[in-house]
Chains A and B, each alone.
Chain A
């Protein structure tokens, strides 16, 4: 039995402790906002926060998440009010949208650590997240906008 705390809720799951966190979130807890893209920590689609740090859940054994605060896209904000989500909507960033949970979760850590990121900071922090639809230019724009929203205390 493994005890998990996801988006401030407690869960107990009966699962092989080596199972990647990604599949436990998606299949056992029904939190399908976190996506599968590569399974090898190459694309970032599966990014979640473990105690506030961005991790690739596809290569994180669920046992390693025990006792930690896990946050997924579903728990990032109430009603899509995070500055990044507001900015993503304002800039119409998503195309197919499949990579976007991971993009936003990676960007959330960036914005917390660096409230005024320059393009180079964005490139460095976001290079692990692939967008096959190529929405990169809008991702950059939206992160800058989110930084402004955050700076004005506009998050929800």
Chain B
């Protein structure tokens, strides 16, 4: 990165960016260096560009360009800056970045949070920013004391003159440093000298999350704010035929009823009035082409599609011929349902479109797209749209929507009523609102030779694509294959000479989206469950069988071995219990899990313990890694045990946490997380705990009962002893 420049010398500082003066450091992405040299701001954008602020009060504020949705970026990313800055951690604060190209995701050309990428993509450039600021503070002290910079050192938020012991705090140096040009090449620390990185750090956002002070999108207060609920079609693709605005307006507190793209908005003084008003709308819907959508029929349709060849995602040797010639054939069908993300905070967005400006407050993972959507609706310039990223009460992908629909609704409603409006989704709106993990149907087969070695693996994945016809199509489609459908299946790590993985595209009946771990969420279940079947068919121990075939995948192997060792693989368990394992690579990390499960006679499953090992390369905050593994395991268990969105007559059959249950504390297994000490490439942690848990549990159920789970969620009827 070469684009660090000192914003304090530019107009932004005079414009009062930092009350009391101080040092502000910004940076540009390599591709934007020219723009930086030519003195931006870029046409039509508001460009404070501040990335790191050090105030005369000694506070170091890191402006974080990734959204905090629980995964800990408001701590991990400031740690990167603070490490190289030698900051006093107790003086470090965070602030959500505004929308500006300087805050774009390092790889994606847009401001966004997802793909478990936040920490590893920022690892270099945030440390660089910290190191640059540190060099400037040292230079400022050197000038003040008229000594050589090399006679100085930085520690705990101070510059120290080693010979005399004189000290100045960063706050005392901030204004002097603000007048300096940033050095071109700063040296980053040798990791062995890290003081913060790699050690557990307390989250910076915890205090405001235990006293009710943290502000989520739903908590935003704006003077004159109205609340809107939107009636959306009960069948995806439906349209409004008629409605009774007067009946809704007759409800006390309802102010206006407006029709927008996605339905009818009832705008009221508060939530309750808006909800009552919405119930009074008496909408007649044109249900459209999906009125007959039915999960059972869809299952038959997918089975037919699975009989047809798909687009080839990965091919090695001749999988079909090898299967025909195999001494032993194993074949299975695996099925997974639509899943709702159900973040704890239902979707919402506040928009205020008035008098040539648009202000938005929202918990989003897709700032740039949301801002651009507001530009498109209002006709304003990007610089006239101000988007504030609030705390996200969970994201899991649901707040990263290419069509920005939940922002679009709020902007449209506010524009229509010329007042600030908060669009609130009820839990029912959320569960029934689509953008699910797609339904997936897998047809899979493997063959063993006479000695029990696997010689072929053939895996067909049938599901819709949710990236075709979105701006992500270019990035996701490779040779006619949607990468998000086959990830976690095409890169089979096991050494098998013949391999075919293909994808058959199913019709997109329902809006779908990335759901925490995306394609890995279903592919890991199928691959790791079926591999267990193959191991059993070969008469081998599933752990040893994996190890033997992972000889060219040392990171998989290390994670697997650590998990197995910590779990006591092979040690006897009480009767009725079983142990299962799975290992999976996703988002550049390698996670193995061993689950201990019991199944009652009635078919009730209890997961007692999960031992998890992760190799995510160099570690930033080990406590966050542990928390994310715990979190991913709970998320994956909720789906494996309960998660299912189904359709009848075109309508979603679930609506709230009673019929879309999630794991509760009384079902929480003991989770142990072990981190592989690793110098390999850094990977992600936000999603990577999810994929292995469903197969680990299913394999444990097999060990306990001899019953093989081939569809999720796990059903009592698939467990009853025959």
Q: Which residues of A contact B (CB under 8 A)?
A: 16, 18-20, 23, 26-28, 30-40, 42-43, 45, 72-74, 76-77, 80, 84-85, 88-89, 92-101, 104, 122-124, 126-127, 129-140
B354: A residues at CB distance < 8 A: none
Minimum Cβ distance to chain A for residue B461 (Å): 27
Minimum Cβ distance to chain B for residue A136 (Å): 4
Minimum Cβ distance to chain A for residue B400 (Å): 15
Would B344 and A45 count as touching, CB distance under 8 A? yes
The main secondary structure of chain A at its interface with chain B is loop
Kindly state whether residue B146 has any CB partner on chain A within 8 Å: no
Q: Which A residue sits closest to B425, measured CB to CB? A: A36
Kindly state whether residue B635 has any CB partner on chain A within 8 Å: yes
Would A138 and B253 count as touching, CB distance under 8 A? no
Q: Which A residue sits closest to B395, measured CB to CB? A: A96
Quick one: given A32-B219, A38-B656, A96-B393, are A136 and B209 in contact (CB under 8 Å)?
no
A136: B residues at CB distance < 8 A: 630, 634, 663-665, 668
**How many angstroms from the CA of A138 to the CA of B656 in the assembled complex?**
25
A137: B residues at CB distance < 8 A: 630, 668, 670-671
Kindly state whether residue B507 has any CB partner on chain A within 8 Å: no
10 contacts between A and B (CB under 8 A): A23-B270, A27-B270, A37-B346, A38-B656, A92-B202, A94-B205, A95-B70, A95-B627, A96-B69, A98-B393
Which are the 3 A-B pairs with shortest beta-carbon distances? A33-B212, A134-B634, A98-B393
Quick one: given A94-B203, A129-B665, A134-B634, are A42 and B658 in contact (CB under 8 Å)?
yes
A133: B residues at CB distance < 8 A: 70, 344, 394, 631, 634-635
Kindly state whether residue B71 has any CB partner on chain A within 8 Å: yes
Q: Which B residue sits closest to A33, measured CB to CB? A: B212
Quick one: given A16-B253, A92-B202, A127-B664, are A132 and B344 in contact (CB under 8 Å)?
yes
**How many angstroms from the CA of A34 to the CA of B627 in the assembled complex?**
24
Q: Which of B212, B272, B342, B634 contacts A19 (CB 8 A)?
A: B272
A129: B residues at CB distance < 8 A: 664-665
Minimum Cβ distance to chain B for residue A62 (Å): 9
B70: A residues at CB distance < 8 A: 94-97, 133
**How many angstroms from the CA of A134 to the CA of B635 in the assembled complex?**
7
Q: Which of B595-648 contact A (CB under 8 A)?
A: 623, 627, 630-635
Q: Which A residue sits closest to B216, measured CB to CB? A: A98
**How many angstroms from the CA of A20 to the CA of B627 in the assembled complex?**
34
B215: A residues at CB distance < 8 A: 32
Q: Which of B388-439 contact A (CB under 8 A)?
A: 391-395, 424, 426-427
- Known pairs A35-B344, A96-B392 / 6 extra A-B pairs, C-beta < 8 Å: A39-B656, A77-B211, A85-B211, A96-B344, A132-B635, A136-B665
Q: Which of A19, A40, A96 contacts B343 (CB 8 A)?
A: A96
Would A98 and B345 count as touching, CB distance under 8 A? yes
Q: Which B residue sits closest to A81, measured CB to CB? A: B211
**How many angstroms from the CA of A130 to the CA of B663 in the assembled complex?**
8
A96: B residues at CB distance < 8 A: 68-70, 343-345, 391-395
Would B210 and A94 count as touching, CB distance under 8 A? yes
Would B665 and A36 count as touching, CB distance under 8 A? no
B273: A residues at CB distance < 8 A: 16
- Count of inter-chain pairs, beta carbons less than 8 A: 183
**How many angstroms from the CA of A114 to the CA of B71 in the assembled complex?**
32
Most buried by A among B221, B665, B670: B665
Minimum Cβ distance to chain A for residue B671 (Å): 6
Would A132 and B394 count as touching, CB distance under 8 A? yes
Kindly state whether residue B657 has any CB partner on chain A within 8 Å: yes
Would B633 and A131 count as touching, CB distance under 8 A? no
Kindly state whether residue B271 has any CB partner on chain A within 8 Å: yes
A124: B residues at CB distance < 8 A: 666
Most buried by A among B212, B632, B657, B668: B212
Minimum Cβ distance to chain B for residue A130 (Å): 6
Minimum Cβ distance to chain B for residue A126 (Å): 5
Q: Which of B297-350 contact A (CB under 8 A)?
A: 342-346
Would B394 and A98 count as touching, CB distance under 8 A? yes
Kindly state whether residue B575 has any CB partner on chain A within 8 Å: no
Q: Which B residue sits closest to A87, measured CB to CB? A: B210
Quick one: given A95-B70, A96-B393, A135-B630, are A34 and B665 in contact (CB under 8 Å)?
no
B208: A residues at CB distance < 8 A: 97
**How many angstroms from the CA of A80 to the CA of B213 in the assembled complex?**
10
Kindly state whether residue B31 has any CB partner on chain A within 8 Å: no
Digitize B549-584: 1 where CB-to-A-CB distance is under 8 Å, 0 elsewhere.
000000000000000000000000000000000000
Digitize B268-286: 1 where CB-to-A-CB distance is under 8 Å, 0 elsewhere.
0011110000000000000
Q: Which B residue sits closest to A128, measured CB to CB? A: B664
Would B211 and A74 count as touching, CB distance under 8 A? yes
Would B210 and A89 count as touching, CB distance under 8 A? yes
Q: Which of A34, A42, A122, A135 contacts B631 (CB 8 A)?
A: A135
Would B205 and A97 count as touching, CB distance under 8 A? yes
Q: Which of B210, B218, B272 contacts A100 (CB 8 A)?
A: B210
**How many angstroms from the CA of A74 to the CA of B213 in the assembled complex?**
8
Quick one: given A94-B210, A97-B391, are A40 and B658 in contact (CB under 8 Å)?
yes
**How many angstroms from the CA of A98 to the CA of B217 in the assembled complex?**
11
Would A43 and B657 count as touching, CB distance under 8 A? yes
B393: A residues at CB distance < 8 A: 35, 96-98
Quick one: given A40-B427, A133-B631, A140-B668, are A80 and B211 in contact (CB under 8 Å)?
yes
Would A138 and B344 count as touching, CB distance under 8 A? no
Q: Which B residue sits closest to A72, measured CB to CB? A: B212
Kindly state whether residue B662 has any CB partner on chain A within 8 Å: yes
Kindly state whether residue B252 has any CB partner on chain A within 8 Å: yes
**How many angstroms from the CA of A95 to the CA of B70 in the assembled complex?**
4
Quick one: given A32-B212, A92-B623, are A23 and B394 in contact (CB under 8 Å)?
no
Minimum Cβ distance to chain B for residue A153 (Å): 20
Would A130 and B657 count as touching, CB distance under 8 A? yes
Q: Which of A19, A27, A130 contacts B664 (CB 8 A)?
A: A130
Q: Which of B433-458 contact A (CB under 8 A)?
A: none
